[in-house]
Amino acid sequence: MDEQTEAKLTDLEIRITHQEASIDELTRTVLAQDAELKRLREELVHLRELLRDLAPSAVRPESEETPPPHY
């Protein structure tokens, strides 16, 4: 192999190494974001349940309803 070909091969190996490192970093970032999204979804469900429990219902239970005037 001549020097020019060897230099190109070395350059390609360096680029591949950097790309692999970038891909690994991106994978870690995506996994962290996925975990954060799952946590936020669970928190949102929990907050909706809390809000539903705190908010009074627009419809009273049947036992608390007054009978209509025609009774």
Q: What is residue 48's predicted lDDT score, i.e. its pLDDT?
A: 92
Instruction: Please report where in the chains the tokens 């469900």 appear, as a residue.
Output: 45
**CA angle at 16 for the pair 12 and 22, rounded to the nearest 5°:** 145
| Integer angstrom CA distances of residue 29 from 4, 7, 37, 41, 67 | 37, 33, 12, 18, 60
Q: Whole-angstrom Cα distance, residue 12 to residue 65?
A: 79
Query: Both tokens of residue 7?
Result: 């230099």
Residue by residue, pLDDT tens for the chain (71 residues) are 899 999 999 999 999 999 999 999 999 999 999 999 999 999 999 999 998 888 776 677 777 777 778 75
Instruction: Please report where in the chains the tokens 């070909």 appear, as a residue.
Output: 5
Q: What is residue 71's predicted lDDT score, i.e. its pLDDT?
A: 59
